[in-house]
A and B are shown apart, each in its own frame.
Chain A
Amino acid sequence: MPSYDPKKITKIHQHLHSHLPSDPALRVKALETILVEKGLVNSENIDRWVEVYADDIGPKRGAHVVARAWIDPAFKARLLKDGSKAVDEMGFTGPASGHLKAVENTRDSHNVVVCTLCSCYPFAILGMAPNWYKTAAYRSRIVREPRAVLAEFGVELSEDVAVHVWDSTAELRYLVIPERPAGTEGMSEDDLAKLVTRNSMIGTDRDLKTGDV
């Protein structure tokens, strides 16, 4: 059982800092080795988890959710009301989709998501978080100077477009619904999904491009 004793944890961290190799690959290997020895993990299953999150579970799932919301107003209404149920309809339930909240961009407003305290992310529909999302630079600055950070991503917003930042401090996870680009009427869900970038669903991309479909 855990001790729930922060002083004990601090001592363990200090011990590990001075006794384990510095290379992250060697440290992760040491953890896997002892967990296999203890019968707590199966290395072949880890291989499968890596494959599943490289091949099937990633931002293309979120892109399909967004595309469906664009073409099906009833689905969009359900998604905005209860994001978890709506992604369950699509078979996309998974880690961190238990309390999903979709927020919608408009002409006059832009949404962007962060977790300033750790790096919470809706894995089930966006897959692995990009590295920048987990950096101190993004976590510290996006709440305080979102327009400056967005400009670094190439998103320039006029002063009258309201920026709404969502800091994932509880178990709610956020999905941004970007605006549907003009000139995409009549396109299929599959083709529309190809226009939706991962960053647009986090909020660090805004005007989606329509070329190359």
Chain B
Amino acid sequence: MDGIHDLGGKRGYGPVDVNEPQEPFHAEYEGREWGMSRTARASSITIDWWRHVRELIPADDYLNRPYFDSWAQTDMAAMIDAGLFSYEELESGVSTTPPGAQIETMDYDAVLKHNTTMASKFDRPVEAPPEFAVGQNIVTNAAGHAGHTRLPEYARGKVGIIISHHGAHSFPDDCAKGIETAQHLYTVSFSATELWGANANPNDSVSLDLWEDYLAAK
């Protein structure tokens, strides 16, 4: 969807503040939210649906509230939607249902070990052969759609060249609707002049990872 999250190429955002503390967490709540994201995300809430819920945060909050606050907001909205708790329970901090089984406490080494199991794979077997080949020119869809998609606005209706093929991966546009499908995924390179016009440096490029539905032969 053409939401506030689709920031690539948008004008009007200021210089990047390159100076910040080296510490991984700049406030305690950032660490709490990070820890919750590692342990508490319900399995029915897929990454694609979660990203879509985040994209739907009202634009002024999306731009102006801190990053981990937007994760918390996304968790709360997705979990309320999925029926994990109610507004009243969230606002009061009191559960109205009997507690479930408590989660086992893990020590430092157990968490470190568990971390190694979290490299999710998104490649999926499909029967269809790839429609495009490395070295082929393609053109991306000019129109977007109202749902979740990973073709940014700045790369729509543009001609690029396929530089690698990754087999088929879960297709976010469907998965964000609860429909598990997979499609061939390609890395597509676009010249800066194709994306931004003749004033861009002709040596420069931007590459994106794009699914077959986003592409047509050129």
Contact = CB atoms under 8 A, between A and B. Distances in A.
B73 interface: yes
A51 B12 CA distance: 38
Nearest to A149: B16
A147 to B, nearest CB: 7
A13 B58 contact: yes
B169 to A, nearest CB: 6
B56 A9 contact: yes
A134 interface: yes
Interface string B3-43: 00111111111111110100111111111111110111010
Interface in B202-218: 203-211
Given A1-B83, A168-B209, A98 B120 contact: yes
Nearest to A20: B91
A107 interface: no
A70 interface: no
Nearest to A51: B108
Contacts of B42: 40
B120 to A, nearest CB: 5
Contacts of B122: 98-99, 170-171
Contacts of A73: none
Interface residues of A, number: 100
Contacts of A149: 16
B215 to A, nearest CB: 13
B105 A41 contact: no
A28 B77 contact: no
Contact of B119 (A49, A98, A132): A98
B78 interface: yes
B9 A140 contact: yes
B89 A29 contact: no
Contact of A50 (B35, B152, B178, B206): B35
Interface in B80-111: 80-85, 87, 89-91, 93-95, 97, 99-108, 110-111
Nearest to B186: A170
Interface bin, chain B = 35 or more
A27 interface: yes
A41 B12 CA distance: 40
Interface in A1-54: 1-6, 8-10, 12-17, 19-20, 24-25, 27-35, 37-42, 44-54
Q: Which of B17, B20, B40, B99 has the most CB of A within 10 A?
A: B40
B34 A138 contact: no
Given A13-B57, A24-B66, A34-B90, A29 B39 contact: no
B177 A172 contact: no
Interface in B149-181: 150-152, 154-155, 166, 169-170, 172, 176-178
A2 B81 CA distance: 6
A167 B208 contact: yes
A116 to B, nearest CB: 3
Interface string B102-136: 11111110111001101111110000000000000
Nearest to B187: A172
Contacts of A135: 13, 16-17
A152 B15 contact: yes
29 contacts: A2-B44, A2-B82, A9-B52, A9-B77, A10-B58, A13-B77, A16-B76, A19-B87, A28-B32, A29-B29, A34-B95, A38-B89, A40-B40, A42-B102, A45-B103, A52-B108, A53-B25, A84-B119, A98-B121, A99-B169, A117-B5, A117-B51, A124-B115, A128-B25, A131-B20, A134-B67, A164-B189, A165-B207, A167-B155
